[in-house]
Structures are given as C-alpha cells and as structure tokens.
Structure 1
Amino acid sequence: MRIADFPVPDTAAARGAYALAVAYQPPSITAHAIRSWLWAEGFAVVAGLEDVDHELLYTAALLHDIGTVTEFDNHTISYEHAGGHVAVALTAGAGWPAERRQRVLEVVVRHNWPSVDPQFDVEGHLLETATGLDISGVGADALPEEFLREVLAGYSRGDLAAVFGACVVEQAARKPATSARRLVDGGVVRKLQDNPLERLG
C-alpha cells in the first residue's frame, strides 16, 4: 500500500476543497485532512469495502474541520455541521445534485460520531475511522507500518496536537451542547499528545 495507490480525484469539487483547505486552515489542520483521506482509502482497502464514492470521500475529508476556522465558524452550531455546510456550498458550485450535496454534509457531520456502521454510510464510516486514527491513534495497527510512515513523511503532524486541541477546547467552552464538549470530556487533548503516530512521524 502506497500513497500512489490513491490518486486525488481530478474534479472541480476536489480541486475546490483543496484550495479552500489551503487558503483557510492552518497547515497542520490541512495535513491532518489529507492524512485522514489517505487513512480512509487505506481502511477501505484492508476492509474490502467497495462502492466507495472517492470524490465524495476526498471532498469531505479535506473540509471536515474547516468549521473550526474563524471565517467559517458558526456561533450556534457545531464545527462539523458548519464545515458540512461549507462543503454543500462548494459542491453546489461544482454542479453536484441536491442528494449528493446532502451526502457530503452527512459524511462531514458523521466523522464526529462515536462510530458509523459501514452498511449505513460507507464514506461516513471511513472518515470517522480515519479521523479517529489521526486524532487518537485508534486502529493504527490495521494499516501497514510502511504506509503509515510514508504518509507521515509526506504530511507531517507538525503542531496538530496543540492547534487542534486548542480549537476543540475553545469550541467546547463556547458551544457546550456540541460534540466538541464530548471530545474534550473524552480526553481528546491527551489522546492527541499520546497518539502513537507522533512517534512514527
């Protein structure tokens, strides 16, 4: 398993998602988004999951945390809902039909669920599993170590633990009824620091 096995979709939505991520997110959040996409694609292979919408998965992965940045923050709803609506707007401009735009919102929102059944939502399951690996280290042994090291070499974790940890803590304090509060209460700051990927990258 290599990065080259997973080409970036050559579509307007994918290019737009990358452009937004780079323009608005801190570099460590964008690197986290790209790693999450690559982990998701890797998990799809090892689990033998088929019928994955790769463009949808990439677009959702690149934008799943964009609701944490000032320009797209929402003062009432959770950052994953805010980011999902950014993805809806982007994909509307790319010409996606309403049903598929709804799917990108669902996948972004579900990445913060405790778990997602792949039979219910395969892309939501893959993104939830992938972000769980990149934030908490869960499932690291399911992917080849050579692949983990290649991805981490190409997309460094940098100051992700500090930057994302601060984002979630701030969101939890300001919007205590959202999933950010659950993440903070569940020890996300410590999990970021103790993630075994920190020792591989």
Structure 2
Amino acid sequence: MPAPIPETFPQTTAAAAALAVATRFCSPALLNHSIRSYLWGAGYAGAHGIGFDDELYYVSSLLHDLGLTETFDSHEVPVEDAGGRLAWVFCTAAGWSPDRCARAEKIIVVHMRDPVTAAEDPESHLLQVATSWDVSGRRPEEFSADDRAAVLARFPRLGFGQEFLAAFEEQARRKPGCAAAHSVAGGIGGRIAAHPLDA
C-alpha cells in the first residue's frame, strides 16, 4: 500500500528549533534530505499502521546528518555517533527528559546499524526505512509516483546523491571500519547512481 505523505510538520518549540539548526548548518541538499526523511518515514508509518512519536521522529530526522556537516564533522567519531551526540545536546537544551534525549541519540545512531523492526523501536525503524529509500532507493514499492512527485516538488534533491556519496567517501577515507566505509565498500555509489528519484 503506498504511503500517504503528511502535509504538515509537528508544531512544537523543539521541532521549530531543529529546523532552524538544520537550516543553519546543512547544505540545501542535505537539509532537503533530512526533511524528506521525515516525510517518507511518517508516510510509511501511516501506510503500515505504525504508531510513533511524531515530534521525536521529526527532530531526529532533521538532526540525523549533522555529523556530515563542515561544522560538526568529527575526524574520529563515526558520523552517526557524532550526530546522535549532537542530538542529545540539542534535546537536553530543549528541556527534554534524559530518557527522551537518549531516545533521539539512539534513533540517529541506529539508523546506520543493523535493521530494527517497528515493534522493537518504531522511530529507529522509520528512520532506517526513510533514509535507505532517500539515499539509495531501497523499498521503492512503498512510495507511489504521485507521492514522489509531490515531495520532490516541495523538497528537490539538488544534487543530493553526488554530494552525499562524496561525503561518505571522505568519511570512509578518514575512518576505515565505520558504517559509512562499509556502505562505500558495499556499493552504495552504484545504488545512488541508479536511484529512481533521480531518473
């Protein structure tokens, strides 16, 4: 069943702040990827009856790739760990509970690790599904042609595939053995080049 893509975003102080942070530090292509990741995941959840914390998922989606940005790229820490720690700092400053801050950190770390089910961790599952679709075209059957067109009209790719691959290749060069390096070695470049959203 195709995913019904949401028309709106969470209207909370933390959500607005996450968008402001992502807009400030992400490139336009990376920002749009982060927003699309929320939209694809929320739509997928609706199509499959997956209950999730909308604000938590939105904030995690908007912040999940901050570790790839020039300002926050770590030369030693894997990108997902760096992004998760930044999310923890952000959420702590937003006044979230320690458990909720830890959840945001975990969602971002887990999105580049072994698959988790919606029953185990719905927000982590959604970010895994959404980012693997937006980056490398996995599960295309989940997203209808109409929804793809509507999302891309609002948040175009702007050369995202090439920019993302270059960032991952740089991560792999500096941090052998990290998840990004495994993705590069596993052929993510070919999947990005063949992405149906760029056809």
Q: Indicate the TM-score class for this superposition, using the shorter chain for normalisation.
A: over 0.9
Question: Deviations 1:126-147 (Å, cap 9, x if unpaired)?
Answer: 0000001001111121122211
CA distance in 1, matches of 2:89, 2:154: 29
How many angstroms apart in 2 are the aligned matches of 1:161 and 1:143?
18
Structure 1 outlier segments of 4+, above 2 Å: none
How many Å apart are 1:17 and its aligned residue? 1.1
Partner of 1:191: 191
Match for 1:188: what amino acid?
I
Q: Which amino acid aligns with 1:124?
A: S
Does residue 70 of structure 2 align to residue 70 of structure 1? yes
- Could you tell me how far apart the structure 2 residues matched to 1:22 and 1:190 are? 29
Q: TM-score, normalised by structure 1?
A: 0.94
Note if 1:118 corresponds to 2:118.
Answer: yes
Aligned to 1:83: 83
Structure 1's unaligned 5+ residue stretches are: none
Per-residue deviation at 1:2? Answer: 4.4
Determine the C-alpha separation between the residues in 1 that align with 2:83 and 2:14.
15
Amino acid across the alignment from 1:8: F
Q: How many Å separate the matches in 1 of 2:109 and 2:175?
A: 16
Identity %: 36
Task: Please state if 1:132 is matched with 2:129.
Answer: no
The whole-number CA distance in structure 2 between the counterparts of 1:189 and 1:22 is: 26
CA RMSD of aligned residues (A): 1.1
Q: How many residues align?
A: 196
Determine the structure 1 residue equivalent to 2:17.
16
Is the Cα contact below 8 Å between 1:3 and 1:151 reproduced in 2?
A: no
Query: What TM-score do you get using the length of structure 2 for normalisation?
Result: 0.95
SS in 2 for 1:72: coil
- 1:24 aligned partner, one-letter code: F
Q: Is the 2:5–2:42 Cα contact (8 Å) retained in structure 1?
A: no
Q: Which residue of 2 aligns with 1:142?
A: 142
Mapped contact 1:107–1:124 kept (Cα < 8 A):
yes
The aligned runs of 1:51-70 (5 Å cut-off) are 52-70=52-70
